[in-house]
Structure 1
């Protein structure tokens, strides 16, 4: 046996942990058939080299409790693990993992927040500032750590070299509740004698333009600030600390204007050469002023930072009808361009960004007030390389203006640098249908584009907010594709803090900011307080996320119970309902076919049930009983108010039936059957086109497939008529759209003011692809037990689903040849797989497994019926019923 993948909490990089008792996880490979872990030996070695060993009895290998003495701030220990089986066999020791705590107490901070002086307070967007401090060390240190954060965005340099590769640091949190600091190991970058620590500082989310309808500025404060604490240890054990204080110097940077929405302007002629290295004369620079920062708000990050995770080359250089030059990178994403250019001093290269073209020109109207324009002013020296620092754009196309004649070819000189939170990829899916494969890729890129420090709604226009409704429906899909536990766990901290400020009401977006859109209790959006932690628990197996969020969960459900009153029907508040129902007009996306009170009451029942289950996991027996019984009473109220005894619903819509079926609000088997049959009739009558918005879309395929209408689900899934998932693919989409018809069939952009080509919410259908077509579904938290139950259809000859679970890789692949189905399964140690096929049911442990069984041939899958009008459908039904030929 081999023990691999040892990690502390959710990161393989355990520097600057924010906990005294980090939980440990590991994976086991190459174990014999039938082998199971009976215990694990955990060795913890302290800074003196003295080891201590601890035994953890049982099979647990994921998020195992820290067995040693809790860490103190800055304390570093080295961990190794080996495992023993029930047969007495033992593995070798794992590779060691060094864990080091960050600054865990507010008293650990001696640094003072410094504001650059003079700080720009004039026209916006503001320039970025430079700050520096020379540091003299008596000898080369044996250890050095830099703890760094900002009110604003920072990029640090030490002795003329950039520190790390983190972008948009320290990320966006509810700064008044939590401000993340980063920890850098700078031991190898310091030497005896003079050293210089420098930083770029910009507005970012702290002071810059954020939001829509004009947005807000100075959301958290009207001055940017830097907080830095460098701690050096020498060979004799003595220490030296250098922090931000009155001795720092500051000046405006060559970034003359920068904003997340507006873009960035950089005058390379204004860069002070050598400014972040020793020997630079900063006597003409200004000073700094001391500011206030509550160090109790400083926290270590739970999830990974934003980084460049990919680079895309130019796919095509386009000359537009108006003679402009546009670069097509072939993929909508989030990031910015890096250019290599040669020209004369003062030449200006301007870059405008957009997601689509309209009439052959850059389609900028959907950006609203986001200028998304970068400018670079050349020095006139030899080849210059530049990339913006403090802005980010959502785009596929970039319009280039002012490219010098002497510069190199555009296609060879410009690279798309893709930026998002650097999550670990954990999920893959593919099939024999290339259109479905492209749909899945679009979902993946939608996630990548919008997981930028927080889970945003879109990356391009003047919004980019953490809308709770979007991630509420998308969390299961996201948690299959990437390890989201730390990323969403951190965001949930902010959700709970902001929610407490509103007396239990979940904000419509987190972090919250006051805009023209009022904050109010909204079903589906507010239910993110229960849906997201439950999804993280189910997919990652972390019960602590439930413990941390439990008060938030109960606060939301209790608030809804209060709003609903004795009737338990939540009908007294304005709701968004099934947002962006395909029939909603461009100027009113909340106008849906499904009654908003039906949606609200259904979510009330669901959240109460989830909260009851969370209480049960946490051993809160009385509360588990309370919320479970509340859920049952709400479900009964739902049936009384919105259904007939035969399963018909007050709203005759796809979403209404999908919600009722998937939320288990219809308990009588006959009522469920009738409801499912009628749902299928509605879908067929709509010519297998999607009729759902944000609420119904994640549920509709499951509601059909789970209730005897699998082929109807596949006909819906594979339709390419508007509205449908594959309509977007047929129109050349490379990400998911906000509206089903963000682009109209004639290639024009939807006339609505709210049109994005990069929203992930409607991509929640990918969870259906993973579980049903791929056949991989967790049935115990953290994939400790999985159900392998592919349901081939839609003419597909093969499909595969792979997920890198906390225990290791679970893989499913199937292929159909004639009426024979072959299923190959990989199960990691610690996981049990339930094989569930129509003619095959068994249970297997870890290892490679292969099965063959009888299944319908691909060519026998029923084709999607041709589209017909309601009149044509009625005539066809009449002919079928009577056998007559009607004129």
Structure 2
């Protein structure tokens, strides 16, 4: 074997990205190679603890099965990797990676759940403590803990880690998780003390709508923890929560809730309560109960503080209130530094927008989102709420003592601590801001589980939102562990509800669960995405039963007709044509959308069966999918190639779900889709279902020009409308903020919803041109759509095999394309003007010759409306002229005109003064 410039860059243990952890006895190993043009792996060697070496034959370097004896609970190891290419080059051994096992042995969990025995109020926060002795020769200490609530543990006065709101939220009835922390450095010989800060969090929250929330899980939180002490001779001892612990609800956290916020009285702080020797005689014995199910090791990254944002502006509202503008809609809480008299209270209120210069509280509905801090009277006091979070850009500060200084308040950003893996850039600053808004939306809503919004009295795991957004999420962040963990809750909920995936997971809403198209489809879509984007075959295998259960549940409702009909559906939720008070009143027939979803679900289960080698299942679901496809086309497709529901989403699902397969019919459907969107003046005409599909459907059908106009539209409804209105996250509604700056009158309006941000996946795959052509990006597809309005675009993604990059830019009439292919992968090039070829690892570049542009035909008032809307600059010209001389006509043109080929501009402008029409004609001819 010869020396090589190639080197191992990263070594990973299974899914988590915030460190090296084994959550099972057989973790998988992944590695990446850099500085290796043309590299293709032939074999590898894995070395465990500097001694055992396993020979790995073959070319796989991502999620390689564990080649050693099973890992033991609590054990710590080092791992190194060396790889050899097909041309005989061998890397040096990688730097050793230390990983720890976070799981427990069967039957090892002994800790009891403890809480307040006689709480003074419902959902009372608590402090709990106990002391223990440690021998001189303790060499390791492993702390495992869980809660029905949220908590943090102190050991000898120090927090054991930096995670917050742990252990997060799961479907508590069926599944709980425990964290695992190495606390060896915190244990001292002799006397030690454990202290736990505990609050209700999601466990005691009231869920529901219209002020009729109810507690689903319980009225009081509880916590369970066990500390394993390991001595030099290998003997162990467990310190566990139980009846010997003591507790109080007279600590500084007076009350705390996810929706309500936190009330903290610094005068009630208790010094040294988590250190040895503290007198807890005034505290009460705890309640103590055994557990009926051992928690599982935490699979996903915990929630942490992930950033800080300073105050950008200090505003004074018309009513005289002090309002802070952080310049960014974010999720987290405020950290304040304040001085004042003991007993003085500072109140912090949070909101995403301002209305008439005041804090916009109406969109919060019944969420108070208010924190209150009562000063102890110390010289300088710093505080940050611990057991709550808010979605906000603005914060109102009431009763600040003395002169307010902006540096006294900082916004602390929190979220699940995933690794960033994807970036996008282009020559259009509005599109770049849109992409940044999408990133911030994900940061705020991927918090313990994928939520719909982070601010109002909801913040639930709506399945419809994440199933459309999961491809984008999988590019921007390594969300494999995060989504795999949540999918376990999906499977648990399905098992309890006859295979139905609820519209919210965990299921906490009143009434029974029900199947809903595009929402419950998360059960089949998200595992498929994890396999496609991360190459995570285990995720597919773990969820395979869940996927089949969802498909079977749909088959039961479809019956012999193989159509999903007549049931409640959200449909193409928030189609902009729907009135504010009825977001389900959409253009696309909900039964059509549901029947299309049935076909996609069957297709995805068929594909999963093929991947996993379940051949009988593959044949079974494949045949059913064909029956459903035939039924759909017979019911909803006319012989002329129109959808019975003549709405853009109907065409988008028929095309992108591969329901209609005849090439000529697909061409007709694509043409009609383009016509419908032109008719709308290239404004959005789709909701949650159609929006993630429409851009691909247009480009696939040869209508990239229409996709370009949709993307760059700035009038409402459009992606960029919110950007022009100052949005820093993606809105729930296309017009969450109306053109006059007022909040949408509907009772459901969020300014941080990522569903419509699913367009980022199209920006990455199609505009930049970086797409997976095989699971885990083992093969890349490089096929950028070179939209004329862009001078450059590019994407960077840290794939499971290494960093991939695509960028293109214009150089005169030509386009320069550059592609970086990671080691151990290949790329296929599909770009007009270039030969189709397959590339190996390395950086490659091309000059693509430009095409000759033909001059456009002149337009006039006698041109068809379709020709006018298609001419660059014509629409803006018309709006400008009409706003200046005929405002009523301008409003009609913007909001009522249907840009069809059967009508002329002159007929549309009937009634405007002749001199205005003449001016318009002159300016049109100049175009």
Once residues 365 and 514 of structure 1 are traced to their aligned partners in structure 2, the CA distance between those partners, rounded to angstroms, is 22
Give the RMSD, CA atoms, in angstroms.
Answer: 2.0
Q: Describe how 1:431-450 pairs up with structure 2 within 5 A.
A: 431-450=426-445
The 1:661/1:872 distance shift into structure 2, 3 A limit, reads closer
Instruction: Specify the alignment match of 1:786 in structure 2.
Output: 780
Q: Does 1:415 align with 2:388?
A: no
Once residues 670 and 52 of structure 1 are traced to their aligned partners in structure 2, the CA distance between those partners, rounded to angstroms, is 60
Q: Describe how 1:47-86 pairs up with structure 2 within 5 A.
A: 51-86=51-86
Instruction: Specify the alignment match of 2:610 in structure 1.
Output: 616
The 1:686/1:865 distance shift into structure 2, 3 A limit, reads farther
Contact 2:769/2:782 (8 A) holds in 1: yes
Of 639, 647, 651, 2:641 maps to 647
Once residues 727 and 760 of structure 1 are traced to their aligned partners in structure 2, the CA distance between those partners, rounded to angstroms, is 15
Of 703, 706, 710, 1:716 maps to 710
Deviation per CA, 1:766-798: give whole Å up to 9, x if none: 111111111111010000001111112151101
Q: Does 1:285 align with 2:283?
A: yes
Deviation per CA, 1:45-88: give whole Å up to 9, x if none: 3xxx7x22111100100000001111222233322111122233
Q: Does 1:480 align with 2:475?
A: yes
Deviation per CA, 1:457-484: give whole Å up to 9, x if none: 0000000110111111111011011111
Instruction: Specify the alignment match of 1:107 in structure 2.
Output: 107
Instruction: Specify the alignment match of 1:42 in structure 2.
Output: 46
Contact 1:332/1:758 (8 A) holds in 2: yes
Deviation at 1:424, TM superposition (A): 0.7
Once residues 863 and 463 of structure 1 are traced to their aligned partners in structure 2, the CA distance between those partners, rounded to angstroms, is 43
Q: Does 1:7 align with 2:12?
A: yes
Q: TM-score, normalised by structure 2?
A: 0.91
Can you give the 5+ residue segments of structure 2 that lack an aligned partner in the other structure? 1-5, 857-870, 877-892, 908-916, 922-927
Deviation per CA, 1:500-540: give whole Å up to 9, x if none: 11101111110011326x52111111111111110111000
Deviation per CA, 1:267-300: give whole Å up to 9, x if none: 001011111112211111111121132243x011
Instruction: Specify the alignment match of 2:889 in structure 1.
Output: none
Q: Describe how 1:82-161 pairs up with structure 2 within 5 A.
A: 82-122=82-122, 126-139=123-136, 141-161=138-158
Deviation per CA, 1:705-742: give whole Å up to 9, x if none: 11011011110111011111111111111111111111
Contact 1:796/1:858 (8 A) holds in 2: no
Instruction: Specify the alignment match of 1:505 in structure 2.
Output: 500
Contact 1:18/1:101 (8 A) holds in 2: yes
| SS across alignment from 2:127 | strand
Instruction: Specify the alignment match of 1:599 in structure 2.
Output: 593
Instruction: Specify the alignment match of 2:400 in structure 1.
Output: 403
Once residues 723 and 206 of structure 1 are traced to their aligned partners in structure 2, the CA distance between those partners, rounded to angstroms, is 38
Instruction: Specify the alignment match of 1:495 in structure 2.
Output: 490
Once residues 114 and 739 of structure 2 are traced to their aligned partners in structure 1, the CA distance between those partners, rounded to angstroms, is 54
Contact 2:18/2:301 (8 A) holds in 1: no
Once residues 125 and 723 of structure 2 are traced to their aligned partners in structure 1, the CA distance between those partners, rounded to angstroms, is 40
| SS across alignment from 1:756 | coil
Once residues 714 and 393 of structure 1 are traced to their aligned partners in structure 2, the CA distance between those partners, rounded to angstroms, is 36
Once residues 684 and 89 of structure 1 are traced to their aligned partners in structure 2, the CA distance between those partners, rounded to angstroms, is 56
Instruction: Specify the alignment match of 1:584 in structure 2.
Output: 578
Deviation at 1:17, TM superposition (A): 2.9
| SS across alignment from 2:597 | helix
Once residues 577 and 743 of structure 2 are traced to their aligned partners in structure 1, the CA distance between those partners, rounded to angstroms, is 17
Q: Describe how 1:348-497 pairs up with structure 2 within 5 A.
A: 348-405=345-402, 409-497=404-492
Deviation at 1:245, TM superposition (A): 1.8
Once residues 218 and 182 of structure 1 are traced to their aligned partners in structure 2, the CA distance between those partners, rounded to angstroms, is 25
Deviation per CA, 1:560-608: give whole Å up to 9, x if none: 1121111111113111111111011111110001100100011111111
Deviation at 1:98, TM superposition (A): 2.5
Of 204, 207, 215, 1:207 maps to 204
Q: Does 1:863 align with 2:868?
A: no
The 1:771/1:631 distance shift into structure 2, 3 A limit, reads same
Contact 1:71/1:101 (8 A) holds in 2: yes
Q: Does 1:335 align with 2:332?
A: yes
Q: Does 1:801 align with 2:795?
A: yes
Q: TM-score, normalised by structure 1?
A: 0.95
| SS across alignment from 1:740 | coil
The 1:524/1:858 distance shift into structure 2, 3 A limit, reads farther
Instruction: Specify the alignment match of 1:30 in structure 2.
Output: 35
Q: Describe how 1:237-252 pairs up with structure 2 within 5 A.
A: 237-252=234-249
Instruction: Specify the alignment match of 2:865 in structure 1.
Output: none
Deviation at 1:7, TM superposition (A): 1.2
Instruction: Specify the alignment match of 1:631 in structure 2.
Output: 625
Of 552-561 and 777-786, the range deviating more from structure 2: 552-561
Deviation per CA, 1:792-841: give whole Å up to 9, x if none: 21511011101000001000111012211001111110111112110112
Q: Does 1:776 align with 2:770?
A: yes
The 1:879/1:343 distance shift into structure 2, 3 A limit, reads closer
Instruction: Specify the alignment match of 1:195 in structure 2.
Output: 192
Of 816-825 and 866-875, the range deviating more from structure 2: 866-875
Deviation at 1:171, TM superposition (A): 0.3
Deviation at 1:26, TM superposition (A): 0.5
Once residues 586 and 303 of structure 2 are traced to their aligned partners in structure 1, the CA distance between those partners, rounded to angstroms, is 37
Once residues 231 and 243 of structure 1 are traced to their aligned partners in structure 2, the CA distance between those partners, rounded to angstroms, is 9
Of 153, 177, 180, 2:177 maps to 180
Of 263, 266, 273, 2:264 maps to 266
Deviation at 1:635, TM superposition (A): 1.4
| SS across alignment from 2:830 | strand
| SS across alignment from 1:656 | helix
Of 327-336 and 69-78, the range deviating more from structure 2: 69-78
Contact 1:802/1:811 (8 A) holds in 2: yes
Of 811, 820, 833, 1:817 maps to 811
The 1:27/1:562 distance shift into structure 2, 3 A limit, reads same
The 1:120/1:6 distance shift into structure 2, 3 A limit, reads farther
Deviation at 1:873, TM superposition (A): 4.7
Deviation at 1:860, TM superposition (A): 9.0
Contact 1:599/1:659 (8 A) holds in 2: yes
Once residues 627 and 871 of structure 1 are traced to their aligned partners in structure 2, the CA distance between those partners, rounded to angstroms, is 43
Contact 1:159/1:195 (8 A) holds in 2: yes
Instruction: Specify the alignment match of 1:704 in structure 2.
Output: 698
Contact 2:679/2:898 (8 A) holds in 1: no
Once residues 860 and 506 of structure 1 are traced to their aligned partners in structure 2, the CA distance between those partners, rounded to angstroms, is 55
Instruction: Specify the alignment match of 1:18 in structure 2.
Output: 23
Deviation at 1:256, TM superposition (A): 0.4
Once residues 852 and 128 of structure 2 are traced to their aligned partners in structure 1, the CA distance between those partners, rounded to angstroms, is 68
Can you give the 5+ residue segments of structure 1 that lack an aligned partner in the other structure? none
Once residues 817 and 158 of structure 1 are traced to their aligned partners in structure 2, the CA distance between those partners, rounded to angstroms, is 62
Deviation at 1:637, TM superposition (A): 1.2
Q: How many residues align?
A: 871
Once residues 23 and 469 of structure 2 are traced to their aligned partners in structure 1, the CA distance between those partners, rounded to angstroms, is 28
| SS across alignment from 2:53 | strand
Once residues 449 and 322 of structure 1 are traced to their aligned partners in structure 2, the CA distance between those partners, rounded to angstroms, is 30
Of 821, 825, 828, 1:834 maps to 828
Contact 2:40/2:825 (8 A) holds in 1: no
The 1:723/1:871 distance shift into structure 2, 3 A limit, reads closer
